[in-house]
């Protein structure tokens, strides 16, 4: 496992947990002073943030463990499980927002000291925006599904804090139901994010193939290699940071076994150069055993 991957993923999980804990304390004080249902929604979301980020941190630590006798492909799938768990946490918070929002929509309450709520929301908005910016950078570097799920979660927080600012401002000027309406709108968006996140996690657990551009890059590498006549039965998947690449290479019938082995080794090294840390498995086929319609082709 690459040291940089482990360091970046752990730092992103720690940063998210620390920020969620600090914001929770601030929002408790703000909600107590204002009675805003939108701030209550933000408070509940911070509780979910802490639970999700702590789960994320523990699972990320587990997923970084090397392969062992019982888990010969490593523990990378734990990241997908973390993302699935986060989607469940977030769905629960969305349900709470719906119930609270409907209650306050039909029985609106006058806010107390909305200025405090606005100040706290501004702090939460900008601090969360900084966290999301850092998480996006980590995702670009690592492609971690767990960090990406956390980033999507905090992106929804940025939108939520922006909506809360508008709701508090409208309530300050007498539109009492704005607080509840924005809480309902926030709940809809959070539920959408949770369902999308859960779908991505399930696809990973079901071993979805690598993206088309990456599979095309694999074909580009092997098709440019001298001595390789074609390739077929390409199968790919990803578990945590590790890409798994399996394929059949087509070679001349008369090629000695040792040369076929060396050729496959060269192609494997070229793929590892293109996809560092990948697990590559190559089977060598004489051209004559490949069905006529598939000989000399480069199949995705």
Binding site: what residues are annotated?
45, 49, 153, 157
Residues in the chain: 300
The residue written with tokens 């966290």 in the block is 131
Angle CA 125–162–87, to nearest 5 = 80
Residue ranges of the annotated binding site for Zn(2+) are: 45, 49, 153, 157
Q: What is the β-pairing status of strands 230-239 and 242-251?
A: antiparallel
User: Between the CA of residue 65 and those of 10, 182, 222, 281, what are the distances in Å?
Assistant: 13, 43, 31, 22
CB 90 within 8 A of CB 199: no
- The separation between the first and the last C-alpha atoms of the chain, rounded to the nearest angstrom, is 27
Angle CA 193–52–146, to nearest 5 = 70
Q: What are phi and psi of 237, to 5 degrees?
A: -165, 175
Question: How many CB atoms are located within 10 Å of the residue 254 CB?
Answer: 8
Q: What share of the chain is helix, strand, coil (3-state, %, to 5)?
A: 70, 10, 20
């Amino acid at each position: 496992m690459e040291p940089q991957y482990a360091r970046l993923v752990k730092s992103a999980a720690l940063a998210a947990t620390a920020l969620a804990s600090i914001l929770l304390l601030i929002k408790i004080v703000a909600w107590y002073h204002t009675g805003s249902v939108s701030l209550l929604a933000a408070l509940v979301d911070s509780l979910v943030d802490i639970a999700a980020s702590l789960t994320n941190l523990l699972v990320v630590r587990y997923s970084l463990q090397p392969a062992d006798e019982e888990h010969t492909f490593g523990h990378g799938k734990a990241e997908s499980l973390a993302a699935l768990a986060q989607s469940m946490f977030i769905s629960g918070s969305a349900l709470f927002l719906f119930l609270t929002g409907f209650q306050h929509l039909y029985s609106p309450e006058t806010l107390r000291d909305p200025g405090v709520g606005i100040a706290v929301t501004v702090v939460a908005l900008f601090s969360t925006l900084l966290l999301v910016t850092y998480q996006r950078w980590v995702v670009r570097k690592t492609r971690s599904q767990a960090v990406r799920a956390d980033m999507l979660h905090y992106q929804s927080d940025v939108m939520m804090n922006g909506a809360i600012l508008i709701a508090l401002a409208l309530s300050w000027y007498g539109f009492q139901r704005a607080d509840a309406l924005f809480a309902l709108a926030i709940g809809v968006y959070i539920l959408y994010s949770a369902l999308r996140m859960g779908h991505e996690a399930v696809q990973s657990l079901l071993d979805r193939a690598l993206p088309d551009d990456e599979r095309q890059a694999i074909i580009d590498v092997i098709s440019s290699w001298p001595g390789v006549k074609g390739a077929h039965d390409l199968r790919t998947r990803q578990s945590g940071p590790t890409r798994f690449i399996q394929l059949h290479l087509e070679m001349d019938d008369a090629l000695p076994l040792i040369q076929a082995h060396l050729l496959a080794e060269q192609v494997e090294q070229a793929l590892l150069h293109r996809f560092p840390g990948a697990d590559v498995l190559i089977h060598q086929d004489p051209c004559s055993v490949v069905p006529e319609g598939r000989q000399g082709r480069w199949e995705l």
